[in-house]
Every structure is written in C-alpha cells, then in structure tokens.
Amino acid sequence: MLVSEKRHLLIPTSVLGVLMREAIDAYPEECCGVLVGRMPAPAEPRAEVREAVAARNSATDRRQESYVIDPRLLLRVQKEARERELEILGYYHSHPDHSATPGRFDLETAWPNVHYLILAVEEERVTGVRSWLLREGGEDFQEVDIEYSSPPGHSMSESTEP
C-alpha cells in the first residue's frame, strides 16, 4: 500500500533531542541513521519511533548534500529490531543550509512506505524538522505530521560502525 491518507509519526522528545545534536555536530555534512519502532495497525495511521540508530555517512563524495548508510549496519539493525518485535520505520538525515524538504537525491533514493525524517541545519542550530513518505506513483512526497512524546523511547544507540 502506498501513501494515500494522512499519516503520523510519533517520536519521543528525548530521541529528537539526540538527533538534533547529531545534526549540529555533523554540520556542514549530512548526518544519517535509522528510525526503529512500531508500524501502525491498519486502522491507525501513526508509526511510533522507539529509538534511532546513528550511522556513519558513508557517501564517498558530496556529503553536504547526500548520505549513504552501510548495508551491513542496516542488516544488523533489522535483525536486532525483529528480535525485539520492532522494525525499521525509516531513516533520518540532515540538510545542511537547506530546508527540511526532500530534494532530488531524496526522491531518487526513496522507498515506498518508509518514513524520511529531515532536519534542516544552519550553522549551530536546527531550523526545521519534517517527516515525509513517498507518494503513490513515486513522483513526490507527502508530508507526515510529527507528534512528540516523552519516554519510554530510548535515546540513540551509538552505532557508527556496522
């Protein structure tokens, strides 16, 4: 099922705080990582982030405008999530000196039914946080409402190497 109705992403404020710090620390390059949690039930359009796993940006060039997550890390995160009855909900990355809207690279690399949380960063501060899902047909994105919660979400796992 591709996106048709309005979706929501619930993220703990503790996780968001860590993501914001990571985005600032990575500036002027993009940070990136994996969002792990629970997908919504068919009648519930809200995915729930439980934790975020940091990844080293493995892009070989243009790290200010693109990111690559090592596939070995993705396999490890997927295995560990399944063992805890969780799953990969999507990915996060920063946009240094750009808005938190998907760009051409994002569209070219996006998968359906996957959340893409983007943090806009300018120098020492995050200026925007938005989440997106690929629209039906794969030609553009639909914005996802972000809801913030207090723990029980975990703060980020430190996993910069697979």
Task: State the CATH number of the domain containing residue 120.
Answer: 3.40.140.10
pLDDT at 98: 94
| Mean pLDDT per 10-residue segment, the chain (162 residues) | 68 96 96 94 84 91 80 96 96 96 92 94 94 88 92 42 34
User: Which one, of 127, 105, 128, lies nearest residue 117 by Cα?
Assistant: 128
157: tokens are 């796992």
CA-based angle 38:78:81, to the nearest 5? 45
SS3 114: coil
Residue type, 135: R
159 domain-assigned: no
Q: How many domains does the chain have?
A: 1
pLDDT at 70: 95
pLDDT at 21: 97
143 domain-assigned: yes
Cα–Cα dist 115/150, whole Å? 20
27 domain-assigned: yes
CA-based angle 16:5:103, to the nearest 5? 55
145 domain-assigned: yes
pLDDT at 3: 43
pLDDT at 143: 95
Domain that holds residue 102: 8-149
160 domain-assigned: no
